[in-house]
A and B are shown apart, each in its own frame.
Chain A
Amino acid sequence: MADGILLERHGVPAASILTDAFTASGNAMARTMGADGYRYAVIPHPVSNLTPDECRERARNVLPEVLGILSAGDEASSADVRRQGTGPDHTPAEPAGLTTDRVRELQRVVEYYFERGWTDGLPVVPVTEATVCDFIDYVGRDPDEVILRVEHLGTACTVRLAAVAAAMAGCTREHFPVLLAVLDSFQPSVDTALLQSTSGQAIMVTVNGPIRRALGFNARANVFGPGYRANAVIGRATRLVVINALGIRSGEFDQGTQGTPGKYCLCIAENEEESPWEPLHVERGFPAEASVTTTHFARGTFPVDNRSGTEPEQILLNIADTMSCTTASRGCTVVMGPEHAHLIASRGWSKQEVKRFIWEHWGRRRGDLRRFGLVHDGIAAGGRLGAVEAPDEEFLRFAESPDAILLVVAGARNAGMTTVVPMIRPLFHSQVVQDPRGRQR
């Protein structure tokens, strides 16, 4: 795209061919180069795994448009495209009455939060009683209701403390019911004491249903962030609850050896619109029109980059192999990119068949674990390494059943990409997001 514009500037007519997954990038590039609305030709994505015959087919289909772009007498339509542009600039005005002194005052307040040890290491939004009341009124719940409790530490999170964490993280009150759904479901995981574990797990949230659109949750490009408020503030508020309400801080009760960047924030939405399968919440027994959070621990995010595989088994073996690298996990969420999902589903594979296939190939030979010195390890392969004299060739599955795997479709449909998110134990909690009047959304 940039090359086409550059060549036009050098005086030669140019036609750029893009795939439909990259038109937004192409439009942004044209705008940046002062050529808003520059006309180009579009072919279906992807190209990289096509056979030569399929490439010829694409070439035949796109040629008329390419010839149109390059020919005299067709500029009128180029001009039409130019006029579409990106519309007028809607830059919001600065808040009225803002002065340097008032901003300095706000900066002092932000510093105060750091001094009190109330943050996750990033600045937080200052919260007053008025904000807390507003959030609690919105959900209509008892502020003193306990929603999470750490028995052995004697700490608890009430609706009120959840509201404080939400506001500090940057939530508006409309986000608050989503955080409450996460917390309302999470007690069984708190009871594992893994919030304090050296394994340093993050809390991952997946959002399904209409609330994704209502609140602007991102399910597509850069689904793991950054740039999307709803994902960012829900992920962050969850951690602020752990730090401030449950009192589990890094270096104290949180003994994570290395932790993971996901401990700042790990919240995605499922790309239900571009998934070939039923959404996660429907698979887990909720009606399609419900908004649901699914929450669990997560050790990290590992990419599976496979753009050239053409068979479902190739992609799935690559995914299972990546899952098998981290030997100390018995559960895993597979966040499959839409391109992989469509390739696999187009050959008739159901979600359950995908999960079973991955489960069967997720593991290692006993001999591998021996070589890593994991023979006496109680965590590797779910502690089922067995007797020392057992054969090296035996393949040890890491999980007990396909139910140890969650399959979510998320990300942009622009490349063959999947991310695997392993966890120590497969404990998944799904919960309906209540609407402000207490009914199901």
Chain B
Amino acid sequence: MGVATIGRVSRDNTSTDPKVRAPLVLPGNDYASITDKVCSIVETPRPPKAWYVAFCIAASLTGVLGAVVVYLITTGVGVWGLNKPISWGFDITNFVFWVGIGHAGTLISAILYLFRQKWRTGINRFAEAMTIFAVICALLFPGIHVGRIWLEYWIAPLPNQMSMWPNFRSPLLWDFFAVGTYFTVSLCFWYMGLIPDLATVRDRAQGKVRQIAYGILALGWTGSNRHWHRYERAYLLLAALATPLVLSVHSIVSFDFATSMLPGWHATIFPPYFVAGAIFGGFAMVLLLAVPCRQWFGLKDVITPRHLENMCKIVLATGMMVGYAYAIEFFIAWYSGNPTEGFVFINRAFGPYAWAYWTMVFCNVATPQVFWSRRARSNPWIIFGVALCVNVGMWFERFVIIVTTLSRDFLPSSWNSYTPTWVEIATLAGSFGLFFTLFLLFLRFLPMVAMAEVKAIMPAPHDPVRR
């Protein structure tokens, strides 16, 4: 691409003309400029002011999280507003919410890889980082909600003082294996993708400390083609393994509910419904992070309007699947002829938690509909707004499922209502603090775009004139 043509090429690569292959990296870039753009973010002595402001807020919230978790552990789970019959509230809502967020990262890194969706390369790195940090936040909640956390190792199949083994017929134990495996595999996948890019940062490092730190992290990568050969094969295998894994994780999370006998939970639609919701909420979170990041760190050439548009389309599609699941739940509640089931759903929509239900429906079903319009899909403000709405909506979805069912049991004498205490609200806010603290540190110290993968999908430089 000659310099003269660059000025005439549109910066908008969202064209749907099937005759033209839209560029995945905007024109005017070569291998070196990609490295410069991505590496300068981690090399600059001073990140943008917005980074400092965001980091201060996030780190303070993480401090709050630490304090309330210590308070919870030293005092007991009574500091939460949970009691019979509502023994799950904010804790499990937050757990399911955060695990769900992670799913988009794995979908982008593994499923889109298997389907040869080359546009994934611009966004997969930070989406995978988002997965890791979201799963850390998710693991926190089951970790602290058990009360006596020092006996947590009883979950693992380890010999213990009671000479007992875990009950492998419990979905809660399946959950431990599913989320634990998910975290480990996501971490391997993410780190493996990082190795070549860490080597790039190592090779450009100026100071001794940076050279040694990135040198150790890059594991001595030399870009050897014999290494690339095994690396690519291992990456493909990990993608092939992560694909069924990610579908299994939220399915197993949904078994926590679906295998119980409670009305509103005991439904066969739960696994696909939960997986669609997880991808929906996760993509919204990727958009929520991508829109400001590409602005602040000058990555608009790599995370292009087309990337955002594609993600908006996925949000629209998965949002409609979620909407369909909401409708089918109601249909089955009526069609089953089970009066308790019917009552639970009428109560969800028109009972004391109707405000939460309609917030969920508005955020998850109504707002993504704006993405039918191409103008909305290419306006970062609208994308950010819808992504925010979807995240709120997906949190409320889990809240509605958990609380409406538990608060209206089979026996009216045991009905109750649930109000979170300040400790629960602070823990939720703190989990966002932890997530954003980790994410901001990632942006500061690790390459946020998979440079090697982006270069592999760029057109090769022209051959020099043959002699």
Do these two chains really belong together in a complex? Answer: no
> Which residues of A does B touch, CB under 8 Å?
none
> Which residues of B does A touch, CB under 8 Å?
none
